[in-house]
Structure 1
Amino acid sequence: MLDETIDRSRRRELAALHDALTGQPGTCVLTGPPGVGRTALAAAYAETFPGAARWVSLAGSSADPDEMAATFAAGLRARTGNPPVADAVAEFAERVAAGPEPTLLVVDDIPGELTAELIDRLSLPEAGGQLRTVLITGRDTPGLPVPTVELGPIGTALGGHPMALRLAGGDLTAMAARLDAETVSPVVVLVRDRLDRLGDAACRLLRVAALSSPAALPAGLIRLFLGASAEQAVAELTRELLATSDGGACQVHPLVRDIARQHLPPVDWTALARQFADAVLDHPWSVPLESFLVARHATRLAGRPDLPDAVVDRLHRRVIAHHQPAGEAALVLPHHRELAERHFDDPEVLIAAARVMRARGEPEEAKDHADRAVPLATDPATRHAARLLLVECLEEIGDTTRADALWTLLGAADGPDAAAFLRARRLRGHLDEARTGLTGLIDRLGTGSAVFHQAQEAQLELARTELDLGAQSEARRRAARVIAEYTARHLTDHATAVAAIDLIGDARFTVAPAEPDDDLAGELLRLRDRYAGAHGRRHRLTLALAVAHAEAERREKTLLAVRDDVRDRFPLEHSARSRTELLLGFAAARGRRNEDARDHFTDALHGFRAVLGDTHPNTLRAELALGVALKLTGGRGAARHMLHVLRHAPASVGIGTDLFLQSAFGSGLSVFPSWLWRRLTPQARE
C-alpha cells in the first residue's frame, strides 16, 4: 500500500516536471523541504530523458551568487573531464548546441536565493533549445521567471514525509503508535534508530561528513581516511538509507548529517578534523570529479580555527593550485585573502592575491596589496611586477596623478610595458596619443614569431582605439586581420582571436543601410567557413562571424541563412542578436513588410538599449526605425519614440537620418509631416 502511494505521487510529480521542462524557456525549479525527494525525482526523470544527463551539485558553496556560479563552473568542468579551455561553461554549451540529442542538466543543492540573474547563469541560455535544466533548491521561490514544481507530503502517515515513510518500512500503524509519544519529528526518531545500529567505521564516516563540507565524500578520499573498512562503511550507510552512493562517492543526506552531529557519542572533533585534513592533503587530486569534491572539503577544513597553521596553509595552497588553471577566481579569492593576511610580508603572496582581487572587480583591495608588495620585493622582477599591477589598479580607481608618476618610473612609454601604458591612455580618453603610440609599437615589434602574440595584442588594442575614434572600417578590417593571423596558425580558440571576433561584433559599430563592402565581406566569409569547419556551423564564434559577414554583404538571404541559429544561441541582449534583428528589420522595410520590420526593430531596440543605454547612436537608430514602422502599421507609441530621438539625436550623434530613413523605408515616409522630417534630418535643415 505504501509503495503504491509513493509510486502514484511520484508519477504525478514526474508529469509536472516534464510539463515544466517542455515549454519555454526549458528550465524549471524543483523545490520542497529537506528529505522530500527532490533529488530522487530528478534522478527518476533523468532515467526517462531521451538524451544525456549531466549532474552538478553546489553542495559546499556559500549563498553568494558569484561563488555559486563559480562552483557550478568548476563542477561542470570536472563533470566534463577538465577540458583544456578557459571557459568550461561556454564549452559545455557549445557541445550541447552541436549535439544530435537534447541534454538534461540538473543543478542540485543550490544553497542561496534563486534570482532571475542566477537562473540565467545556471541554465545556460546560450546552449539554445537543446538544453533542459532542472534547478533544485530547498528555499521558497516566489516570483521566478521559470516554472516551479514544489514537492510536498505523501499522504498523512508520519506527516507524509517521504524520507520518514521509507525509513519506517511497511508497518506504519505500529510505527505511528510509537512515534505519538515522541516530542521530535518522526524522521529524527527513525534516523536515530538506524544510527544506533551502525558499526564504528560507518559512524566515523558520518562524523566526518558532519564536520566537513556537505559535498559528497569521494571514494578515494574515504579509502585514505578509513583504509580497508571504507567500502563496508559506505555500503552500510547506503543499506540503512542514510546516504547514497554515486560512482563510489558517498553523499550523506543533510538531515542525517545534522542528526548524527547531535546524536552520536561525542569525540575529539579537532583530532578527527586533523586526520581528515591529512587524508585531503595526501589525496593525489588527479581525477577531475574527485578533485572537485576534495577541493570542497579542503575549503571547509581551511576555515577551522582549531587546525595547526601549517596544515591550514597547505589546504589554502592546494585549493588555489587546483582552481588556478581554470581561473575560477571567486573560489580562490577567500584563500588568497587568508594567505595574504597570514603572510603579510611575502610579496609573492601579496601579488598573487592582488591579481585575483583585480580580476574579481576589487581594484581598491588589489591596490592595497600591490602597494604593500612593492617595498617588500627585493628581486627586481618581483618589484617590477608589483609596480605594474599597482599602476593598473590605480588607473581603474581613477588615481591618475599617482599612476602617471608610476608610469614614468616604469619607463612604460617605449619600454616592455608600452602596451599596458597605451591601453591605459585609451581608457582615459587620450585616443590620438594611444593610436600614435600603438602604431609605433607595432612597427617596433615587427613580424617575428617570437613577438607574434604581443604584436597581435597590440593590433587588437589599436583596433579598439580606432573604434573609439570612429574609424569603424579600419577597426573592423584590423580585427579581421588578427583573426586571420591566428586562423592561419590553427589557433582559432586563442584568447586574442576570440577577443577580435567579439570586437567585430561590438554593439557600438554603426548598423545602417549602406553599400556592401565586398572586400571585407569576402575576408569574413573565408573566416566564417574556417570556423564552421573547425567548430561547427552553430558555434557562437562561427555565428558571430556569420553576422559580421552578413552586415558587410548587406544581403537578406545571408541573414536569413543564420537567423534561426542566432535566435536560438544568443539572447536579445547579445550584440550579434541585436544587430541581426536590426538588419532584418531594414530588409523587411525595403520589402514593404512593415509589420515584420516593426517586430525586428522592437527586438533590436531592446537589445541595444540593454547594452548601450538609451542615447547611443545604435539605440537611437533602432528606436527611430521602430517609430517609423509603428507609424506605417498604425501601431501605438510612434510619437513617443520619435520625440525621444528628437531630444537626443541632434545633440549626441550625427545620425545621417535622411539617408538612414530613405534607404530603409523609401516612399513610405510620405506619412510624416514636413516639420517632423526637417527636425529629424540635419541635411534637410541645411
Structure 2
Amino acid sequence: MTAPYDIFLSFTWADTVEVTALQDALEKAGLRVFRDKDIHRFEGITERLDAALAESKVLLAYYSRRFPTRYACQWELTSAFLAAQRHGDPRRRVLVVNPESDGNHIAPVELEDAAYAARPKNDRERTLVVDRIAELVRAAAAPLGAVRSTAPVLPRLLRPRRFVGRYRQLWAIHSALHARELPATTPRTSAALAVVRGFAGLGKTSLAEQYAFLFRDAFPGGVRWLGLFGQDDPVGALARFHEHVRAIAADLGADVGDLPPEQVRDVVARRIEAAREPQLWIIDDVPSELQAEVLDQLVMPTSFVRTVLTTRSGNPDWPAPVVDLTGLSEDEGSVLYTEIAGSDDPGELAAVRRLVERCGGHPIVLTSVVTAYRDRRGATGFAEALGSVPETPVAALRQAVGACGPTARRILRIAAAISRAPVPPELVERVLPGEPIADAVAELARRALLTHLGGEWDVHALVRDAAGLDDDLTRKAASAVLEPAGGTGHRHQHAAALAAHDCVPAGQRTRLLRIGLDWFRGQGDVVAARAAAKRILTVDAGPADRVAAAAALVDAGDFETAVEVCRPLLDSGDAFRARLTCARALDQLGRFAEADPIWPEPPPDGENADARVFMAVAKRMRGRFREALDLLDAADPNPWARIELARLKLVFGDVKEARTITEAILREHDTPDHERHPVRLEAIGVHAEAEMSLELTEFKARDQNFDTLEAHLRSVRDELTGLLGPESPLTLVAGVRCARTSVTRGRPKRALREFAELAPLVDRVFGDRHPLHHWMSYSAAQAHAQLKQYATGAGILRSLLERQRESIGPHHPDTMMTQLDLGISLMLTGDKTAAVPLVAEAERRIGQSLGWRSELRNRAGVTRLLMNLPVLVWQLFPHLDTLFGKKSPEED
C-alpha cells in the first residue's frame, strides 16, 4: 500500500492550466498531491480514485463555476465532506480555492461561509495559499478515510441518467435533513424532512435520485423509494404510501399479517429504531393538495428516517423547508449536450444555449430534443433544426413522439391509458402480440422517452400526455388487466386508471374498479376502500359489486349510505350478503326494529366465518345469547369468532373459560410486531372485563393490561379523527370507549368532561335510542355515583331505563343492568321503597335470561341481599364503588 497523500486535488478540465501551477507550488512545498489525470467528463468513479481520496488528509477543490456541473467533482467533494465530518469541523479538511468573483456557486453552505482562498494572481499570493494549506495538512493527524454504507443500492439509483449541475440544490436537501447536526448559522427545522418542488419535467425525481446516490453513504440503513403517483390519483396517494410501508415491513422480516396500515407504519418505525441506522426515504410525486395533517402520516415516527418529498407545487402549510427547482442554466444545458452528443463544438453549443433560453432550460425538452438531433450534429442546418423546436414541453415532446416508429408510439399510448406507475412489459405484450416490442423499447430508450426501471418501464407523465390516447388500445389494455393470468405489477392502480376512460365498456369498468376495492379491503385500508366503493356506486354496477361496495362503507362507518345501497338488493341474486350488510349497518345505527326482519337466517353452507361472527354479535346485542353461542365454536381458527365467544362466556358467568380463550389469543399474538394488533387489543379488553368481574368477590384491583388498553383506545380515537373526521360514527364509538375507560380507572371528573364533549355529537349522529347513547348515559351515571352524586346518577338512569325499555325491550340484559344500578342509586339516596322492587325484578329477569350462575345475576343477588341492611350501613360500605364500575381510585 502506498503512503497517504497530503492533498487530493479536485478540479475540472477547463481549469487545467491554473490547477497545474497550483499543484507545482504545493509539491515544491513538500506536499504529496494526488491529481487524477485519467478520468474524463462523465466517466464513473474508479477504485483508484476512491482509494486515493480515502488516503488523503485534505481535499482541495479548485471551485470554478463549472466545478459543480461535473459528476466526478460532486462525488469527490461530497465524499470528502462526509468523511471530514467524522474528524470535527469539515472546513479544516475540505479546502476551497475560488477563482470566481463571488461565492454564489459554492455548496454546501458551510464552505460558502468559510474563508476560502481567492485565485492567486502571482507567485507571492500562490505561496500564501500554499502555506495556509500546508498548515491545515500538518494539523490533520490521519487521512480522511472512507464512509461507506454497506446497504444494497437501489437498482433505480444505478440506472444511467442524464444529470448535470444542481449541486447547490443537492446540498440544500442534505442541510435540511441534517439541520440539527449543522452549525448554529444553519436554520433549524422541526422534522428531518425536505420538499423538492417544481413544475412537471423539471427533474425533481432525477434530483432526488442523484441525492440518494451521491449521499448514500450518509445513510447506512439504506435508501427506500416510495412512488405515490399523486398527480394521477391524489385520493389514492396515502393508500399507495401504506402499500410501500407494508412491503418494507415484509423486507424487514416483520409479521404484520392483517394489521391495519397505521399499525404497520408503527411496526416499521420500531424496527428501524431498534436497528439504529439512519435511512433515507424518498417519497416521489406527492399530491400538492395534501393537507398538512395527512402529510404527517408520510413522515415516519422515528429520528432514524430522513424524508425527501417531491411535488409539483406543494402546500404552503407543509411544515418543511422547500428546495425549488427551475430550468437548467445555459452552462448546465451545454454540459448536458456535451454528455449526450459527445461534442463541445462552439457552434453547436451556441445553438444549444439559444434553445435553453427559448424553452426555459426544461430538462426533459433538452434531453429528448438533443437526443433526437444528435445524429445530425455537424450537418448543415443543425442550428436551424434546434431553432425550429417548439418552446412548450408538451409540443416539443409531441414532435419527438411523432418521430418514433409505430410500435413505439403504441407503447407510449398504452402507458398514457394506464396509471402513472411503471409500465409492466407483460401487459404491453398482451396488448401488442407479435409486434417488435423489444426494438421499439430500445428506440424509446435511445430517444430518452422511456427508461428501464428494474424489470418495468418508466415513462414520464409529460411524455404520456404528449403521446395521447388511442381508444382501441385503451380497451385492449383494460381486457388484458382483467385476464385471469393478468397479475401485472401495480394491477389495482392500472385498473383504476383504465376504469376512468369512457371508451371502456361499462361492465369492464365495474370489474376494474372491483379489483381496487378488493385490494384495499384486503390491506385493511378503510379510507382507500371507501373511496373505491364510492367510485363503484357511480357506475352501472351489478348487485354483487354494489353489496361489496356497501360492505366497505360499513367498514368505514358510512352506515346510512350502506343501507341505501343494500335496500333495493335484499331479494337480488346476492340476497344473503345484501341482507347481512344492510342489517349490520342498521344495527350500528341503533335501528334494531328495522334490522330484525332483514337479518338472514341461517347462514348458507360455505359462508365465511365473518358472516357467522356478525350474526352472533347481532344476537348478543338483542339478548339472544344462547342462539349466538350456537353460531360459534371454540376451535374456530378465526380469532374474532373466539373473542365473541369469550364475551358470551362472560355473559353466562363462565369467567374462567373466557379468560382461557383470551389468554390463548394473547399468546398467539405475543410478538413485538403485534403489540397493537386489533385482535390482540380486543382480546386484552375482553380479558380485562373478565378480570374486573372477579372484583365483586375479591375486592382487589387488577391493573394488568389496563394501561396498554387505554393507550390503544385513545390512539385509535385520534387516528380515526384524522382519517374520518370528528363526527364519523367510528370516531364517536372510539371516543365513548375512551371516556368509559376513565370511569373504569376511577377518574369520574375526566370522564364527565369527555362525555359532555361527546354528547351533542352522539345525539346528532345516532340519536338517544342508539346503544352508544345508552352506554354513554350509563357510564355518566356511574361517574356521578363515584363522586357520591347519587341523586344525579339516579336521574340519568331513570331516563335511560325508559329509553331502553322502548328500544331493546325490558328483558334485555343491558336494560336489567340499568335497572339494577338505578335500584342501588335510589337506595343510596334513601329511597329504599323504590329501590327494593327494582333490584328484585332485575335479579329475577337476569336469572331467567342468562342463567342463575351468570356474573350479572350474582351481582344482582349480592345487591338484593344488601338491601336488607339499613341505608346508613350502605353509605358506610367500604367497597360500594365496585358496584359502579370503579376499578381503583386514581387522580382525575
TM range (shorter): 0.5 to 0.7
Offset, 1:310: 4.7
* 2:224–2:282 CA contact under 8 A, matched in 1: yes
Distance in 2, Cα, partners of 1:195 & 1:74: 33
Q: Which residue among 55, 65, 89 is the counterpart of 2:225?
A: 55
Structure 1 or 2, whichever has the larger Rg, is 2
Structure 2 residue corresponding to 1:456, chosen from 623, 626, 642: 642
Q: Secondary structure at 2:497's aligned position in 1?
A: helix
**1:563-599 deviations in Å (ceiling 9; x for gaps):** xxx9xxx99967999xxxxxxxxxxxxxxxxxxxxxx
Contact 2:431 2:473 survives alignment (8 Å): no
CA displacement at 1:367 relative to structure 2: 0.5
CA contact (8 A) 1:459 1:478 kept: no
Conserved 8 A contact 2:414-2:473: yes
Taking only aligned residues, the RMSD between alpha carbons, in angstroms, comes to 5.2
Q: Is 1:91 paired with 2:264?
A: yes
Matched residue, 1:14: 170
Q: How many Å apart are 1:39 and its aligned residue? A: 0.8
Distance 1:609 1:401 in 2: 24
Please say if residues 221 and 283 of structure 1, whose CA atoms lie closer than 8 Å, have aligned partners that are also in contact: no
Q: 1:496 aligns with which of 679, 693, 697?
A: 679
SS of aligned partner of 2:226: strand
Does structure 2 retain, via aligned residues, the 8 Å contact 1:609–1:619?
no
Find the aligned partners of 2:544 and 2:497 in 1 and give their Cα distance.
25
Aligned counterpart, 2:208: 42
The correspondence for 1:367, drawn from 560, 563, 566, is 563
> Aligned equivalents of 2:715 and 2:679: distance in 1?
23
TM-score (norm 1): 0.61
Superposition deviation, residue 242 in structure 1:
2.1
Q: Which residue of 2 aligns with 1:349?
A: 545
Q: Deviations over 1:111-144 (max 9, x none)?
A: 351212211222232xx22322222211232121
Q: Partner residue of 1:637?
A: none
2:80 match: none
What SS does the aligned partner of 2:419 have? coil
Map of 2:476 onto structure 1: 275
Q: 2:410 aligns with which of 187, 204, 222?
A: 204
Distance 1:68 1:203, change over 3 A: same
Read off the aligned partner of 1:221 and give its amino acid letter. Answer: L
Q: State how many pairs are aligned.
A: 515
Instruction: State the match for 1:150 in structure 2.
Output: 324
1:35 is paired with a residue of what secondary structure?
Answer: coil
- Structure 2 match to 1:259: 466
SS in 2 for 1:55: strand
- Counting aligned pairs with the same residue, the percent is 26
1:299 partnered with 2:496: yes
Q: Distance in 1 between matches of 2:546 and 2:682?
A: 29
Quick one: higher RCO (CA 8 Å, sep 6+), 1 or 2?
1
Q: Give the whole-Å Cα distance in 2 for the aligned partners of 1:18 and 1:505.
A: 49
Counterpart of 1:46, as a letter, is: A
**Cα offset, 1:342, TM superposition:** 6.4
Residue 169 of structure 2 aligns with an amino acid whose one-letter code is: E
**Mapped partners of 2:584, 2:298: distance in 1:** 32
User: Matches of 1:423 and 1:240 in 2, distance apart?
Assistant: 67
- Structure 2 counterpart of 1:71, from 208, 216, 240: 240
CA distance in 1, matches of 2:537, 2:304: 44
Distance 2:322 2:169 in 1: 11
Q: How does 1:476-555 map to 2 (within 5 A)?
A: 483-489=662-668, 495-501=678-684, 521=704, 548=708
How many Å separate the matches in 2 of 1:21 and 1:464?
A: 53
Amino acid at match of 1:295: H
Which of residues 576, 588, 606 in structure 2 aligns to 1:396? 588
In the alignment, which of 130, 138, 152 is matched to residue 312 of structure 2? 138
Give 1:270's aligned amino acid: D
Matches within 5 A, 1:155-170: 155=329, 157-158=356-357, 159-167=360-368
Report deviation, 1:520: 5.4
- Structure-1 separation of matches of 2:248 and 2:303: 21
Matches within 5 A, 1:459-474: none
Tell me, in whole angstroms, the C-alpha distance in 1 between the residues paired with 2:263 and 2:366: 42
Give the deviation of 1:148 after TM superposition. 2.6
Q: Report how far residue 463 of structure 1 moved.
A: 11
* TM-score, length of structure 2 as denominator length: 0.48
Residue identity in the other structure for 1:194: A
Flag the 1:479–1:87 CA change in 2: closer, same or farther, 3 A: farther
Q: Distance in 1 between matches of 2:66 and 2:714?
A: 47
Distance 1:138 1:520, change over 3 A: same
Give the secondary structure class of the aligned counterpart of 2:284. strand
Gaps of 5+ in 1: 262-266, 426-432, 467-473, 510-515, 525-544, 552-565, 578-607, 625-648, 658-682
Cα separation, 1, equivalents of 2:305 and 2:650: 35
Match of 1:376 among 572, 590, 594: 572
* Alignment match, 1:554: none
The farther-off stretch of 364-373 and 77-86 is 77-86
Contact 1:285 1:291 in 2 (8 A): no
Q: Matched residue of 2:571: which SS? A: helix
Query: Matched residues in 1 for 2:479 and 2:531: separation?
Result: 21
Structure 2: distance between partners of 1:10 and 1:253: 20
Asked if the contact 2:576/2:600 (under 8 Å) is kept, the reply is: no
1:600-639 to 2 correspondence within 5 Å? none
Structure number with the higher helix fraction is 1
Amino acid at match of 2:416: A
1:76–1:89 contact (8 Å) kept in structure 2: no
Task: Report the alpha carbon displacement of residue 324 of structure 1 after superposing the two structures with TM.
Answer: 4.8
Change (3 A) 1:209 1:395: same
**Aligned partners of 2:362, 2:577: CA distance in 1, in Å?**
59
8 Å Cα contact 1:213-1:297 kept in structure 2: yes
Deviation, structure 1 residue 408:
11
AA partner of residue 258 (structure 2): V
1:301-346: CA deviation from partner (whole Å, max 9, x where unpaired) = 22222233454354344444555533445555566556667666x5
**Shift in Å, 1:37:** 1.5
3-state secondary structure, aligned to 1:110: coil
What letter is aligned with 1:421?
A
